[in-house]
Structure 1
């Protein structure tokens, strides 16, 4: 078990967005999170690496790190949590004034203080991995949306995380660009990366996921294997959602 989450809650003012979330992520597995807009999916993902700090809940990692969010958390432990994961955002979030290569080296070089030569070699290898070896010196405005998202994936990989988090990585892309990004994610899945993915691409989720989790109104309504949740859901709310997405 890479990560166990128990009793996770998060509110923004009076709006309770996450309500007693309990889940587990196995090392080397892909957890896909689905659900309607406003169900709490993105907030859950952002809580997993403390971009949003949970109000309550416990995270237990397989290396012994344990965080209780109702208590004071040491700065060092919060840093350890954030370094465990790399985040890929739906809106890319690249630095517009930096080239593709400069975007990828930013985290390991500036934040992690790693050796520059080693980081440059790693960044070039990662950009080649995502099919952008000929785009390294281009700026974000010179790249298509799909290319920018692949830079974002390379940037997240560059910090060498244990967990990759994808927040609807294809939702901002034109339909013809979606396939290139999904192929990169499939390749990472085949390499054994541990991932949590928020997506509306249900057929893709069925192909790559070890577990699928359906959320609605801040709760986990149902979770299980892709076959169980996507093809034979037991909850009526899950059935309604999947029917609407699969047969619009």
Structure 2
């Protein structure tokens, strides 16, 4: 397995948001995380790259890197973990005073200190890949929400991560713009990227995922293939959630 998570927990004061989370992901596979708001999905994703530091839990990577958050984790290991993943946020998180191209080159140039000529070439290729060849010199406020999110995806790809993390990448978009972002993600799936996607787009999750995790109340209630979790759920809470999402007119 590329990454194995065991016993992951996260508390904010007395509020236990994640409770004993176990799962694993292999190289080139896609996991989608679904569930109601407040179930811990985003916190789980943020723990995976330590935007939120876990209260406890064991992270084991196939290259031998192991982090045990029940103890003090050294800074070098934290840096190694952070370098492995690229994050796409639901609210884009672009620098408003930088162009699309500058947003994509920022991480590789400033954080990774890579060669400017090579990074600029890569950034242009990535923006072309996500359909923004003619928008490179525009600022975020000159772009639609869907275009901003595609810049966010190019920015995450530019650091050349091993793992792509998507935190509800379409939740801030108008319905007509959702498709353009999902198409880009689908292209990445077809290219074999290792990805974990938090999403409310249930049908999309069913199409692209190797595994689906349904979360509620800080727990993984059900996990398995899309056929098992989405099309034939076993747990009553999973059935109730999916019925309300897929048949909203009945409520």
Normalized against structure 1, the TM-score is what? 1.00
SS in 2 for 1:134: helix
Which residues of 2 match residues 44-193 of structure 1 at below 5 A? Answer: 44-193=44-193
- What is the alpha-carbon distance in structure 1 between the residues aligned to residue 146 and residue 236 of structure 2? 35
C-alpha deviation, 1:187, in angstroms: 0.1
1:198 Cα deviation after fit: 0.3
1:21-46 Cα deviation digits (max 9, x unpaired): 00101110000000000000000000
Q: Paired residue for 2:4?
A: 4
What are the Cα deviations for residues 83-139 of structure 1, in whole angstroms up to 9, with x where unaligned? 000000000000000000000000000000000000000000000000001000000
Q: Distance in 1 between matches of 2:162 and 2:202?
A: 25
Q: How high is the TM-score relative to the length of structure 2?
A: 0.98
Alpha-carbon distance in structure 2 between the residues aligned to 1:13 and 1:144: 38
**Post-superposition CA distance 1:68-91 (Å, at most 9, x none):** 001121111100000000000000
RMSD: 0.4
1:228 Cα deviation (Å)? 0.4
| Secondary structure of the corresponding residue to residue 52 of structure 1 | coil
Distance in 1 between residues matched to 2:34 and 2:168, nearest whole Å: 10
Instruction: Determine helix, strand or coil for the equivalent of 2:20.
Output: strand
Cα distance in 2, alignment partners of residues 108 and 71 from structure 1: 31
**C-alpha offsets along residues 156-206 of structure 1, whole Å, 9 cap, x if unaligned?**
000000000000000000000000000000000000000000001000001
Q: Spell out structure 1 runs of 4+ moving beyond 3 A.
A: none
The separation in 1 between residues aligned to 2:5 and 2:200, in whole angstroms, is: 23
**Alpha-carbon distance in structure 2 between the residues aligned to 1:247 and 1:85:** 35
Please show how residues 37-48 of structure 1 align to structure 2 within 5 Å: 37-48=37-48
Whole-angstrom distance in 1 between the partners of 2:65 and 2:130: 32
Q: Which runs of 5+ in 2 are unaligned?
A: none
Q: Tell me, what secondary structure is at the counterpart of 2:22?
A: strand
2:3 is the counterpart of 1:22 = no
Deviations 1:180-239 (A, max 9, x none): 000000000000000000001000001100000000000000000001000100100000
Gaps of 5+ in 1: none
Structure 2 CA distance, aligned partners of 1:72 and 1:234? 39
* Residue aligning to 2:246: 246
